[in-house]
Amino acid sequence: MRTAIILVIGAALFAALLLLGSNYAIRFATIFAMYATLALSWNFIGGLAGYPSFATAAFFGLGSYASAILQSSGIPMLMAWPIGGLFTAVFAAVIGLAILHLKGHYFAIASLALVEFLRELVNINDQLTGGGMGLNLPVAHAGVTQQALFFLAAMLAVTIVTLLAAVVVSRRKIGFALRCIQQNEDAAIMLGVNARWYKAAAFTLSALFPGVAGGIYASWVHYIDPSDVFDILLSVKPLVMVLLGGLGTLFGPVIGAAVFLVLEEAVWRSFLTVHAAVLGLLIVALVLFLPNGLMAIGRRRRRASQA
């Protein structure tokens, strides 16, 4: 019930923001949609399955480049995005075979290394990817506001699909299986859970949507380079957003993304140079004082009052 209220208020605010019509508001909303997608996607592997993945940036970057390269070969944008996403998903499924049997720290490091590895690989293969010089994407022939709205719609569409996927997963066998795996993987296996398969599915889901979002991002900004789209912060921020909203919850990632981005905007305006430091401070405070996220606050109070 509480979540529904929060979401209705959020949606109303969102609509109001858009009605303002300013390009700034549209831009902010687009970024929100993008991060909400990343956070929701991360939640599949990090929140539900409990595997601390830092690979989100790897998938985002891969999707960006795949889509950009496809487009420079003449494939239209609207086809390049899903193909890029699928490519990223397949990549995740394959890599998952190599690293999903790792636990804890080892898995985290492997996923982190993936980001660095892909970035350097893209840097080196400059024939294909433009290397450090980056890649330019075709600019559409349409008005600025029209374009802005178009990309917002695209990002939002992906966010909604991701959210739907999250809802479906949470209600069905796969969500249940992932929760079992997260709480006691060995016991789950002995109970008949095919952990390998479910983890791979979660990992693939955590790659598919960021892959598509990356493609949309590339078209939106018209220019990408390796350190831009393979930025480790694209792995860390969604993670922090989910922690903020509530690990493993359904709407936590969305709420966390909203709160985080609003905070970031406020901070960024006032503390331009120490932006990273403030982010660091936020992360530290979050881990120390609010490890269960915002959604847990009301729950704890309610349980305490019932006791």
Q: Is 299 in the site for other proteins (CB under 8 A)?
A: no
Q: Which of 14, 143, 23, 138 is nearest to 76 (CA)?
A: 138
> 97 to 156, contacts with other proteins by CB under 8 A?
98-99, 101-106, 108-110, 113-114, 116-117, 120-121, 123-124
User: Is residue 164 classed exposed, middle or buried when 0-12, 13-18 and 19+ CB atoms within 10 A define those classes?
Assistant: exposed
Rounded CA separation 186/260 (Å)? 35
> 43 to 62, contacts with other proteins by CB under 8 A?
46, 50, 52
Q: How many residues make contact with other proteins (CB under 8 A)?
A: 60
Q: Is 167 in the site for other proteins (CB under 8 A)?
A: no
Q: Is 277 in the site for other proteins (CB under 8 A)?
A: yes
Specify the residue, 31 or 95, whose C-beta has the smaller distance to other proteins: 95
Q: Which residue has the tokens 């998952």?
A: 96
Q: Is 291 in the site for other proteins (CB under 8 A)?
A: yes
The residues with which 224 forms a beta bridge, in sequence order, are 135
Kindly write out the interface string for residues 179-218 of this chain, putting x where it contacts other proteins by CB under 8 A and - elsewhere. Answer: xx--xx-xxxxxxxxxx-----------------------
Rounded CA separation 117/114 (Å)? 5
Specify the residue, 170 or 219, whose C-beta has the smaller distance to other proteins: 170
List of residues contacting other proteins (CB under 8 A): 46, 50, 52, 98-99, 101-106, 108-110, 113-114, 116-117, 120-121, 123-124, 171-173, 176-177, 179-180, 183-184, 186-195, 236, 239-240, 243, 273-277, 279-284, 286-288, 291
